[in-house]
Structure 1
Amino acid sequence: MELRQLLYFVKVAQREHVTQAAEELHVAQSAVSRQIHQLEEELGVDLFIQKGRNVHLTAVGQLFCSRIETILKDLDRAVDEVHEFLDPELGEIRLGFPHSLGSHLIPSLVAEFRKRYPNVKFRFKQGMFPSLIRDVVSAEVDLAFISPFPESHEHVEGNLMLTEELVAIVPSAHPLAGEETIHLNQLKDEPFILFSEGYSLRPIVWKACIEAGFTPKIAFESEETDTIRGLVAAGMGVSILPEMALYETNHRLQPARVHIAAPKITRTIGLIHRSDDKLPLVAQSFRNFLLEYFKVHGDSRNEFK
């Protein structure tokens, strides 16, 4: 069994199409087919079944593929670690983060870090709380910013980086737009624009509304902070967003932001990594940089293991 056979096999499994896999691998289709056939002969099983122009993994093929993907990831990691050992400033950092941090915080941190290590590469992956946890545990990413910061977890550990205030946003012509602070129950009769189910900010806002004595009336749901901000600015309702999501843009429509005096609404943001695995040297350098950065600019005192 050769490494090339395994690489070809996984690519065909991912694409479910021999020709497309061959094109991506930059080899002839016949070469891919031959290697797959030899692999099947050696194993004594059919790994694929033909369905029209596509191929699909058999049951045993699915089992074999899951194992081989893990092996290939470990191999890639081993090669990366060798390169990082030779020069940790030339490595790649695989970083996960929620969408709400993508417009300002992540670009700012990466730009600051690259002033020190200009040759380091980044590979980003955005996701929601459950998927970010899975990505860290499965080694899809080295580090992940996550909100809310989990108090404990069997397979990850990390540091609380900062606690951020959430503020109300209303249309610029709204009667409360000129107020410096409000009580949340002043918005009880307003239509709310909230994040969709599964996004960590939604239960934070929902819980705050219940604490303020009302259930929010949902007018719209969205998966993007920019969309929520735009709908509020267009007069479609009100919302509650992190301050970090409200940095000025060039768009002419902007909502008014108003601080909430009671109940105080905050979210925690932490940095996590696998608890049972050593970070690549370049990722450890980035983690050390972040701990130093937030020690000066935020709160990184709390941690769990």
Structure 2
Amino acid sequence: MELRQLYYFVKVAKREHVTKAAEELHVAQSAVSRQIHQLEEELGAKLFLQKGRNLQLTPVGTLFLKRAEVILADLERAVVEIQEFLDPEKGEVRLGFPHSLGISLIPEVVSAFRKQNPNVNFRFKQGMYPSLIQDVMKGDVDLAFVSPCPETHAHVTGQTVLTEELFAILPTNHPLSQEDSIDLIQLKDEPFVLFSEGYSLRPIVSDACKEAGFEPIIGFEGQETDTIRGLVAAGMGVSLLPEMALQGSGKLQPAKVRVKSPRVTRTIGLIYRSNEKLPLVAKAFQRYLLDFFACVEAKNRL
């Protein structure tokens, strides 16, 4: 069975006439008739019945038409996807990232990239560190931001693109809320609002507290930066958050204070599948991101 036979069959089925289908296909009527006949012989069933000057699908022909249309549609999509894969100015970038980056960073870089590449679309997927690694491995996303970047991994690779400082966040009526900076040990008796287990920011905060000489008292747990920020602003405890997660809106906002000892940071990596070429559009976005973060790091050093 040839794809040409399927294509001719669908055209005849839609036009209900061999001559009209042949005209639309710009081929001889005899060529269309021959391909339909060969297809019926191979299937061992009649696909059309003569009805006056037109043709009518048999029950078998109606069933076969549904399948043939699916096959041809899938083939057409595959051709489009391949063309987009090979065109750095078209197609779709599938990007994964943790929730904390979705507040400002992702909208900023995607918007700037699309100003230069308006024909590129994006599909986003948010998740925790383990799920983002899996999304990259399974091919559900082309690129993903994770924190931290895995040093060694059998199936994904990447590079650290940004180091970000974490700040203490406190209720606005907290005695330390007006300080320019504090030592983390000053919060040892406070309840902490932490991310749930599995979120990469949780061990960063816990390890920083241990380095300062205490175990954090866990008062509440949350799964989104908005929740952490809101609970702290409502007086339910204190926490540490990266600066880009503190750009919330609304009346209820916590105070932000720099932590001078120990200095608390997180690294953000950009990862992709090892030993596999990225679609050209994703490769173009990857290059854009590396240039973008190189500029950010250079400004931070000034």
Scaled by the length of structure 2, what TM-score is found? 0.72
Describe the shift of the 1:182–1:281 C-alpha distance in structure 2 as closer, same or farther (beyond 3 A): same
- Cα contact 2:169–2:254 (8 A) shared by 1: yes
Deviations 1:46-97 (A, max 9, x none): xxxxxxxxxxxxxxxxxxxxxxxxxxx9x97775233333x43220000000
What is residue 122 of structure 2 aligned with on the other side?
122
**5 Å matches for 1:135-284?**
135-249=135-249, 251-284=250-283
Q: Which amino acid aligns with 1:211?
A: E
CA distance in 2, matches of 1:126, 1:149: 16
The alignment status of 1:286 with 2:252, answered yes or no, reads no
Describe the shift of the 1:293–1:184 C-alpha distance in structure 2 as closer, same or farther (beyond 3 A): same
Deviations 1:76-130 (A, max 9, x none): 7775233333x43220000000111010000000000011001110000001111
* Consecutive unaligned residues in structure 1, runs of 5 or more: 2-30, 39-72, 300-305
Describe the shift of the 1:143–1:78 C-alpha distance in structure 2 as closer, same or farther (beyond 3 A): farther
User: SS of the residue aligned with 1:174?
Assistant: coil
CA distance in 2, matches of 1:258, 1:293: 27
CA distance in 2, matches of 1:224, 1:248: 12
CA distance in 1, matches of 2:85, 2:136: 20
- Cα contact 2:226–2:248 (8 A) shared by 1: no
Q: Which amino acid aligns with 1:290?
A: L
Deviations 1:247-291 (A, max 9, x none): 142x11110011101111100001111112100010001001111
- Cα contact 1:168–1:241 (8 A) shared by 2: yes
User: SS of the residue aligned with 2:89?
Assistant: helix
Query: Which consecutive segments of 4 or more residues in structure 1 shift more than 3 A?
Result: 75-79
Q: How many residues align?
A: 232
What is residue 84 of structure 1 aligned with on the other side?
85
- Cα contact 2:181–2:259 (8 A) shared by 1: yes
Scaled by the length of structure 1, what TM-score is found? 0.71
User: SS of the residue aligned with 2:215?
Assistant: coil
User: SS of the residue aligned with 2:228?
Assistant: helix
What is residue 14 of structure 2 aligned with on the other side?
none
CA distance in 1, matches of 2:77, 2:134: 19
CA distance in 2, matches of 1:110, 1:184: 35
Describe the shift of the 1:121–1:207 C-alpha distance in structure 2 as closer, same or farther (beyond 3 A): same
Deviations 1:33-56 (A, max 9, x none): x89xx9xxxxxxxxxxxxxxxxxx
**5 Å matches for 1:49-64?**
none
Larger Rg: 2
What is residue 47 of structure 2 aligned with on the other side?
none
CA distance in 2, matches of 1:174, 1:151: 39
Q: Report the alpha carbon displacement of residue 151 of structure 1 after superposing the two structures with TM.
A: 1.3
Describe the shift of the 1:279–1:98 C-alpha distance in structure 2 as closer, same or farther (beyond 3 A): same
